[in-house]
Amino acid sequence: MKYEEAMKRLEEIVSKIEENKLDIDQIGDSLREARELIKFCKERLYKTNEEIKKILEVEE
Amino acid sequence: MDIMTLLELNGRVKNVLQYDMPDAYWVQAEISSLNPSAQGHCYLELVQKDPTGRNFLARAKANIWRATWLELKPFFETQTGETLKVGMKVLLKVTVSFHELYGYSLVVHDIDPTYTLGDMARRRREILEQLEKEGVIGLNRELEIPVLPQRVAVISSATAAGYDDFRDQLLRNMYGFAFYLRLFPAVMQGNDAERSVIAALNAIAARRELFDVVVIIRGGGSVSELSCFDSYNMALNIANFPLPVITGIGHERDDTVADVVAHSKVKTPTAAAEFLIDRMFDSASLLDDLTRRMVESVSDRMNDEKMRIQQISQKLPTLFAVLKVRQEQLLDNIWTRAHNGVRNVMTEREYRLGIIDKVLTAADPVLILKRGFSLTRCDGHTVQSVSDLKRGDRLTTIFADGSVESEII
């Protein structure tokens, strides 16, 4: 999954919750999904991916 | 016939020149070669080309003696931000000299940097106009900087302090954002810069899917020599580059052509690193905002639900009491209505029965006989017409109180 897609999905979920479009059971499912998305985005922002590092810096 | 030696002839030429052209002249020319000597002098070759720039129209040697050169060199450099170099157009104050052995040459006494600056500005303007006409000048600017510009291709001199600054700033950013760097070394000044930077761009383009953004940086050198970034070919490559190009080539004067065609330009390598960190910060803020909004709206929603349940449970006994009263009233109503209904039905029935009784009573034959009427029968049938009877028939006449027999005569 791409970072931008994850952010878009997260935005959708938050908007639905804010607009009261979900019942309580659906909120529970959405929260679980949102937590995964946030984790994914945070990793992209802050965690160095060794594989990318290896590919990029191999010739340096 | 007078015969002269070569020395005598050259001596006469020298005398004529010194006699006829004793003054200093301002002359405009292009430097075609430049060699500082070990003794501190500077030897130049000056040319004038035709308008096409391909053919030479004039050529002369020129010397800047040590004492002049020591003064002119720093003066020119502070004024223009450039060192004197081949290809540069200059306006020089010269005297003409002729040496019997070394021939014709010019001695340089002064230089006017504004002429060179003007020429450089004109060239820059011409290049920009050309790029504008070709419709490429804004191409790189139309690209979007990725949401996460993490994989950075750097074009720089590997040894430049500017590169180290950039690297430190980026990799040790205070937020802890992940970045990946790959250096594509290039010569960042002088005549080789154009070819070298273009080669580095080509090397990046061959692996473009590995990178998000290109950064061209220089810095740490003593003198800013930027005219190499006023190159048409370099600009064309930057403008057409498939990834956004950020320049941080460090300068005080007007933007170079490379800066103009780049996606974004900043002043220093450190600022280039900050540019990328800021972009990451924006993305991280967006994520934080979303997370915060979600937590707030979910907790709001949960509070609402809790309040709803509380309200319902508080109201329940009252609601139940109201319900009970209402149900009782309803039952009462039904009972009353049913009771009235039955009573109405009963009255109606009684009335009808009364009528039937009266009718039936009125129709009772015994009562009719009692009122004075009689009933005549013959052979067991009730006689209803005279024509039913003939002479000799025996009749039975019934009265209220009995009957008599008779015969028709």
Is a pLDDT exceeding 50 seen at residue B222?
no
Look at residue B253 in the predicted model and tell me its pLDDT: 63
**pLDDT, chain B, mean:** 89
Nearest Cα to B152, choosing from B21, B239, B276? B276
**B138/B132 Cα distance (integer angstroms):** 8
Look at residue B278 in the predicted model and tell me its pLDDT: 96
Name the residue in chain A with its Cα closest to that of B211: A56
**Residue B180 sits at the chain A interface (C-beta within 8 Å):** yes
Domain ranges of chain B: 6-111, 125-282, 366-407
In chain A, the percentage of residues whose pLDDT exceeds 70 is 95
| Residue-wise pLDDT tens digits, B294-335 | 989 888 888 888 888 888 888 888 878 888 888 888 888 888
Burial-class residue B32 by CB neighbours within 10 Å (0-12, 13-18, 19+). middle
Burial-class residue A36 by CB neighbours within 10 Å (0-12, 13-18, 19+). middle
Q: Answer yes or no: do A3 and B305 touch at CB < 8 A.
A: no
Domain ranges of chain A: 3-57
Average pLDDT for B93-110: 95
- Of the two residues B395 and B65, the one the predictor is more confident about is B65
Residue of B182, B283, B305 lying closest to A57 (CB–CB): B182
- B27 beta partners: B92
| Residue-wise pLDDT tens digits, A49-60 | 888 888 887 654
- Of the two residues B344 and B113, the one the predictor is more confident about is B113
Say which CATH architecture domain B6-111 belongs to.
Beta Barrel (2.40)
pTM of the entire predicted model: 0.69
Q: Answer yes or no: do A60 and B183 touch at CB < 8 A.
A: yes
Name the residue in chain A with its Cα closest to that of B151: A56
Reported ipTM: the value is 0.90
Look at residue B251 in the predicted model and tell me its pLDDT: 65
Say which CATH architecture domain B125-282 belongs to.
3-Layer(aba) Sandwich (3.40)
Between β-strands B151-156 and B213-217, what pairing exists: parallel, antiparallel or unpaired? parallel
Is a pLDDT exceeding 90 seen at residue B370?
no
**B183/A49 Cα distance (integer angstroms):** 18
Q: Answer yes or no: do B294 and A14 touch at CB < 8 A.
A: yes
| Residue-wise pLDDT tens digits, B180-190 | 999 999 998 87
Q: Which positions in chain A touch B151 (Cβ < 8 Å)?
A: 52, 56
Average pLDDT for B107-136: 93
In chain B, the percentage of residues whose pLDDT exceeds 90 is 56
Q: Which positions in chain B touch A7 (Cβ < 8 Å)?
A: 147, 286-287, 290
Is a pLDDT exceeding 90 seen at residue B362?
no
Residue of A14, A24, A34 lying closest to B305 (CB–CB): A24
Name the residue in chain A with its Cα closest to that of B175: A46
Q: Which positions in chain B touch A50 (Cβ < 8 Å)?
A: none
Question: Cα–Cα distances in Å, from B279 out to B212, B224, B284, B288?
Answer: 12, 28, 9, 14
